[in-house]
Structure 1
Amino acid sequence: MKQYQHPTADQITLTGVLHALSDPVRLNYVQCVAQAACEQACGTIPTPVAKSTMSHHIRVLREAGIIHIRPYGTQSLISLRFDELEKKFPGVLTSVLKSAESTDGVEQKNA
């Protein structure tokens, strides 16, 4: 089973987190993980892109320190590193996710 490298809390940077969340696909993925509030198998989260493209997006999120990936048998389980991010950057992730929810509502009304 593949082992994943995750940055330690002191290696996580605000610019890295904001860059990772600046992509709509990654932001949507983080929203789905956050709504689940528990570990999710990689393949259970709906994505609008090809599997290979999603692998790239997941790698960016992992390297930024936003998600944690834990191998479990033949699956990889994903969880949000919310507590670590909240401790290092209080309110940032919550604000970004809340803002994204508000924006999604506006986009759906305009559609």
Structure 2
Amino acid sequence: MGDEHVEEWLPQPDVADIELVKVLHALGDPVRLALLKVYADGEQYSCAPGALGLGHLHKSTVSHHMRIMREAGVTSTRVVGRSRYVRLRRGDLDARFPGLLDALVSAL
């Protein structure tokens, strides 16, 4: 049996450990704001730059932005084999900072 069916989650902060300063820092970049706009629909997305409308950026640059968002607690990343899927942690963020995501997304 190969690794293609193995699923894991990349490290992310617990809900209680999500800090407002880190969230705001993570979203203080135009590329990461663009990612927030994509993720705001609540769907899960492949990490492929082309799938996110970021085909003009190098894969390592997109990975960097995704890591910043995940480590701040904005997103979670699921790994299945060689594929990665990202989803906004809306419920967790709404619980910690009510109204923050709605205000940011409506401004985009």
Give the TM-score band, short-chain normalised.
Answer: 0.7 to 0.9
SS at match of 1:49: coil
Query: Where is the helix percentage greater, Structure 1 or Structure 2?
Result: 1
Structure 2: distance between partners of 1:5 and 1:83: 18
Pairing of 1:1-111 with structure 2 (within 5 A): 4-35=10-41, 37-43=42-48, 44-47=51-54, 48-100=56-108
Post-superposition, which runs of at least 4 consecutive aligned residues in structure 1 deviate over 4 A?
Answer: none
The residue type equivalent to 2:45 in the other structure is Q
Gaps of 5+ in 2: 1-5
Structure 1: distance between partners of 2:59 and 2:31: 12
Higher relative contact order (CA 8 A, sep 6+): 2
Gaps of 5+ in 1: 101-111
- State the percentage of identical aligned residues: 35
Deviations 1:53-72 (A, max 9, x none): 11111100000000000012
Structure 1: distance between partners of 2:81 and 2:88: 20
Offset, 1:7: 0.5
Counting matched residue pairs gives: 99
Once superposed, what is the RMSD of the aligned Cα atoms? 1.5
State TM-score, norm by structure 1: 0.82
State TM-score, norm by structure 2: 0.84
